[in-house]
Structure 1
Amino acid sequence: MSYAERALRTLSAGNRTLLRAQDEATLLHDMCRVIVELGGYRMAWVGYAEHDEAKTIRPMAHMGFEEGFLELGRFTWAEGESESSRGPTSQAIRSGKPVVVQDTTTLASTQLPVPLEETLRRGYASIAAFPLIIQDRTIGNLTIFAAEADAFDECETRLLAEMADDLAFGIANLRMRERHREAEETIRHMAFFDALTDLPNRSSVGETLAAEITQAQLENQSMAVLLLKVGRFQEISDTLGYQEGDHLIVEMAARLRHLAGPDKSVARVGEDEFAIIMPRSSAEAAMRVAHHTMREACDPVDFAGLAMDPHAYIGISLFPGHGNTPEALLRRAKIAAVQARRTACKYTLYKGTEDRESTRRLELMSELRSAIDHNELLLYCQPKVSIRSGEVCGAEALVRWQHPQHGMIATGEFIALAEHAGLIMPLTRWVLEAAFRQSYAWHERGIARPLSVNLSAQDLRDPRLIDRISGLFATWALPPELVQFELTESALMEDPAGALETLDHLKDLGVDLFIDDFGIGYSSLSYLQKLPVDSLKIDHSFVTSMLENQGSAVIVHSTVELGHNLGLGVVAEGVESEGLWNRLQELGCDTAQGHFVGRPIPTAQFDEWEAQSPWSHPAPGNHVALH
């Protein structure tokens, strides 16, 4: 067999090795084995070029009659006068080209990294060194020793150089595969582990819980989930900064990991929440762990010399008693944690009342959205009466919800539901459209009764609010004096500049504007002067207590004077008695609103109410005598 045929056979076997390779170390070893066992060469070795100060060549794999050959010399690819720098392997790495020595007996001892006699003793008659190049960068060498002199002719060298290139390609491919594997592992780790604490996250604990539930069902066992909430996290983050908040979470994670040991899983399932999963555990065992955790893990945490209690509390849920899904167990453990805040020991088992209430709220949120979309709400009006004339001078539009199963839902409850469900603006749109329809109906019958609509802070941030109101005026062709708008003082103070701009646009439409709940929003007089408003509405909390509370009386009196000095009308809310009416009349207040004047009633009944009320034909002098 010729040298070329030997090289070709070696190349072919090397290619098969490349196809089967699963990792880099095995590839290098198998390639050296193929070269020696199938190619019939004396020895082969692969080295990697290090970029340390000495530019070391680090042997990675070898096969053949080497008998410690690689340990005899110091292999380097540095350029210099040393023996190791003048050998064929060093030259191949530096030049990026194959280097062949056809007859080692012609070499001087200074041209090899090991003594010449050692080379000859091992039967290395000729040497061929090939660079391993990846993306134009030499990473190492493939060096082959033959037992015959003049073994590496041009054809054989070309074939072996091709094999070295294939080996470099295989190394590059395996490294790329390894990088992809590491990237996938990193992505998976990021998906299932918390970046701050390196604990499993909520996604991971969901899988763990599902597996533990399945195992518990197979073994007919119970299990427990503890959810620890760090109550001080938000306060520390807001006061000392997010880094200190993170320090608190990292410290709590380390404590819980230490306490849990190998038989329990700890995970971070929320910004300030940790879960501890206890397989094969009862309520009693879970309570013991919760007690131990509160005693050992909830000591004060040091913040640069300032020790602060984390204010942790723990809720416990149990399988199967409290749920048979990961979501149910975590949710009910969290509800129990909230319940635990009110206990002395700060841990408790889940009790179902709050969960049922939460479910009811979610159902009501969904049903409220449907009620808005299907026009199932009711428009009520509460009358306003002029204190001077005793006549009805307008009404405030109010929304009510008559639920088909639960009856009339308390206004405060369903407004809160709308806020949590993001339904405030849709609710306002419904009220606006209903109020304009009602005002149009009154206007068509010749009734000039202004109807006021409340706007929230969210409504003031709605970029389409002014266009929507302008469109309603255009649709119903109403005089602007028949529609008024009430905005709470606190809503105006959330974004004073933005609120002022919205009020200016509303005023351009010709409507009257009221500041509602005045006295509790802490607006400055300088800001009040800038607002294009027409009236102040004194908050009912001051009006209802003004006869018994001197402070409230002073506030009401001062607000009436302030409003009049600014050229504004003043409306008193919460007028519940004749005594309050009389006192407001003495103070010169302009308008009264409250149960003494009239309760909220459906708009369809407003005309009938007014016709029967004393405010339709007030007696001269003391109007309240009609009551």
Structure 2
Amino acid sequence: MPHPADTHPTPEAGQSAAGFARVKRAYKTLSAGNRTLLRASAEDELLRQMCQVIVEAGGYRLASVGYAEADEDKSIRWAAYVGPERDAAGTWHLTWADTELGQSASAVAIRTGEPVIGRKILTDPAYAGPSFAHLREDAARKGYLATAAFPLRVDGKVLGALSMAAEEADAFDTEEVALLGELADDLAYGIANLRVQARHREAQATIAHLAYYDSLTGLPNRTLFLEQLDAAIQTAKREHQSLALLHMHVSRYHEINKVLGYRAGDELLRKICRRLKAALPDDAVIARVGDAELALLLPRSSAEYATEVASRLNKALYEPLKVGSLMLDARVLIGMAMFPGHASAADSLIRRANAAMYQAKPARGGYAMYVSGQEQESVRRMALMADLQRAIRHDELSLYYQPKVDMASRRLCGAEVLVRWEHPQHGMVATQELILLVEQAGLITRLTTWILEAAFRQCHTWQSAGAGQELAINLSALDLYDSGLVDRIEGLISTWGIAPGLVQFELTESALMADPVGAMETLDRLKRLDVDLFVDDYGTGYSSLSYLQKLPVDGLKIDRSFVTPMAANGDSATIVTSTIELGHNLGLKVVAEGVESEAVWERLALLGCDIAQGYLISRPMPAQQFQDWQQAWR
């Protein structure tokens, strides 16, 4: 039903003295409204002040601004109101839909985009119908007889309406409406301008947030953390207080990124941060300062308190975290440094906490406090990482071979391939340190590629000399999920003409369990190359028997931690005995590594273990020495 009011006021309406007075007040309202536009700094403030101007400066009975909502009911949301019964303004429920309830002046102005004028509301027969009962009741209660609504148009779209009411029944003639229309247009311009300013401020705030906060975790980034740490150090100096800095490394973050994808790594990091934040003291500041690195500032902290917090954080991460369908280890390694005891500047404190982090061991709680000299050790480690990249690139590593012997015949039945690196200045790098360097430098795939090529070349050399030996090559979890691994191995078999039976691969139980489905796919592809597969370090992981019997493997390798002490430790002997029985029941060969005494050899022989490997037989040795040892062993 169309609104009965005139949308085009008659020209003669403004010719009387009363009409002149109304035009004058419209000018006054327009002038005051323009001053309001200049002063307002926020949209809600502008709307409220504009309504006040219309009522207080212009003398109108009431004024309001309603915004058209894009909801299903096409509701009108009242953004500002000045006039009688102000507290009840929020209870109005109007619509701008073209329905019986959508015939108010504001609704029609929003819908049509044209000014809508209503006069003589209590006496005009057009308002006598039941549909306008609410309007008549409202006019009588609030003391107005005429209404006007003007569309508010921003960027060509009507976003709402400016509405007002007057006590005079014949108010809102042509000239008055023209001036008030200008006021509505000015208001719409002011709204648009304030919205542009608001968007600009939001953009600036977003830029500032991106400059100082990590987008993945929402934590302060390195830039902001350095500022916070600098400020905390200055405060500590003034107050003669100490503070602690904890530097944390998320274990296996880069490996998870490469194996399971960046989404899995990101999800893991977010969940770790949530757990850590829940366990932190109220005054602690935590930040993400690197891909897999977090930093924690503990103001007014002692070394004892910092150690207590580090222990609490590791306990909070003790339980694995579910990422997708997998349960992943959530451990962190934590290094701690104190102000002023270890450093008095932010950069130095961070370096020393980072140096301490490299000394943290899971077996010792996963945290360590800085001690003098560790920073130099970190510098040395960084230099070694660079040297290791060069060594791989220039073929400066070497392979060592540890013999494996058939226990029944005491004959040599193969060797495990082990990589060694003799640094030109530092000498032979310890195996555990070499493994750590490879992991920290992200060189696992490159190193495995080098080992594969060097091992196949040596296998070909021995095969050509009539002394072919089965070589067992270790593969890590990262190698196992490398999509190019199997093709690379198949290419090496073809390149060197190696009989598949001369190649074995050992895969740790924990590597197989990181992603059982993906591991099974890779193992199936490897098995189709007719190579032997062994589960390494068996007993240290958590694979189920049902999963084990599904694996396309040829043998189990019992971890040295059970084999070496079995002659003196009943629990170790029980585990070894059970593993040998299990392997044989599944039709698998069983290898015992860590055989270092005749007593252990004799116990294994009685249990029917198939193959032995360990220092009792020989330590790992270079290829030439291996050939000499082989002659002596025979």
- Rounded Cα–Cα distance in structure 2 between residues aligned with 1:543 and 1:244: 36
Superposition deviation, residue 268 in structure 1: 3.7
Match of 1:47 in 2: 63
Does the 8 Å CA contact 1:199/1:267 hold for their aligned counterparts?
Answer: no
- Residue 559 of structure 2 aligns with which residue? 539
2:48/2:81 contact within 8 Å kept:
no
| 1:170 and 2:190 are equivalent in the alignment | yes
TM-score after normalising by structure 1: 0.63
Counterpart among 390, 395, 405 of residue 375 in structure 1: 395
Instruction: Tell me which residue corresponds to 1:442.
Output: 462
Specify the SS of the correspondent of 1:131.
strand
The correspondence for 1:267, drawn from 261, 274, 285, is 285
1:472–1:546 distance in 2 versus 1, CA, 3 Å: same
**Distance in 2, Cα, partners of 1:349 & 1:589:** 45
- The reply to whether residue 461 of structure 1 matches residue 481 of structure 2 is yes
Quick one: distance in 2 between partners of 1:171 and 1:398? 73
Task: Report the Cα distance in structure 1 between the residues aligned to 2:272 and 2:552, rounded to whole angstroms.
Answer: 45
Instruction: Give the CA RMSD over aligned residues.
Output: 6.0
Helix, strand or coil for the counterpart of 1:427? helix
Within a 5 Å distance, the mapping from 1:197-276 to structure 2 comes to: 204-210=224-230, 224-227=242-245, 249=277, 256=282, 267-269=285-287, 275-276=297-298
Post-superposition Cα deviations, 1:182-222, rounded to whole Å, max 9, x if no partner, equal 57557856976899x99977654433334566x789x9997
Seen in structure 2, the aligned counterparts of structure 1 residues 11 and 48 have a Cα distance that, compared at 3 Å, is closer
Residue in structure 2 matching 1:405, options 425, 430, 446 = 425
Question: Partner of 2:252 in structure 1?
Answer: none
Cα distance in 2 between the residues matched to 1:473 and 1:342: 41
Residue ranges of structure 2 left out of the alignment (5+ in a row)? 1-14, 68-74, 93-102, 125-135, 249-269, 317-333
Matched, 1:433 2:449: no
Deviations 1:425-475, CA, capped at 9 Å, x for gaps = 332222111100111111222222222211223322223221111111111
CA contact (8 A) 2:51 2:64 kept: no
2:498 paired residue number: 478
- Deviation, structure 1 residue 372: 2.8
Match of 2:343 in 1: 322
Are the aligned partners of 2:60 and 2:164 in contact in 1 as well (CA < 8 Å)?
yes
Deviation sequence 1:568-610 (CA, Å, 0-9, x none): 4443323334454455556554433222322211124332333
| Correspondence for 1:131 among 135, 146, 150 | 150
Give the distance between the partners of 1:74 and 1:448, measured in 2 at CA: 96
Per-residue CA shift, 1:545-581, capped at 9, x if unaligned? 3443455555555655655565544433233344544
* Paired residue type of 1:131: F
Tell me the TM-score normalized by structure 2. Answer: 0.62
1:38-437 correspondence runs (5 A): 47-49=63-65, 93=106, 96=109, 98=115, 129=148, 131=150, 133-134=152-153, 135-141=157-163, 154=174, 157-175=177-195, 177-178=197-198, 181=201, 185=205, 204-210=224-230, 224-227=242-245, 249=277, 256=282, 267-269=285-287, 275-277=297-299, 287=302, 317-318=338-339, 322-325=343-346, 328-329=349-350, 332=353, 351-437=371-457
CA distance in 2, matches of 1:17, 1:210: 45
Residue equivalent to 1:595: 615
Equivalent residues of 2:51, 2:63 under 8 A apart: no
Between the aligned partners of 1:565 and 1:102, the Cα distance in structure 2 is 100
What CA distance in whole angstroms lies between the structure 1 residues aligned with 2:278 and 2:602? 64
How far is 1:369 from its partner?
3.7
Q: Distance in 2 between matches of 1:77 and 1:412?
A: 71
- Other structure's SS at 1:447 match: coil
Amino acid at match of 2:425: Q
What fraction of aligned residue pairs are identical, expressed as a percent? Answer: 46
Structure 1 unaligned segments of length 5 or more: list them: 61-69, 80-89, 120-125, 231-241, 258-265, 279-285, 302-312, 617-627
Cα distance, 1:318 vs structure 2 = 2.3
- 1:128 CA displacement: 9.2
User: In the aligned structure 2, how far is the partner of 1:496 from the partner of 1:321?
Assistant: 45
CA distance in 2, matches of 1:606, 1:540: 22
Aligned partners of 1:445, 1:549: CA distance in 2, in Å? 44
3-state SS of 2:452 partner: helix
1:46 and 1:227, CA in 2 relative to 1: closer, same or farther beyond 3 A? farther
Structure 1 Cα separation of the partners of residues 477 and 608 of structure 2: 31
Aligned pairs (5 A) from 1:455-534: 455-521=475-541, 527-534=547-554
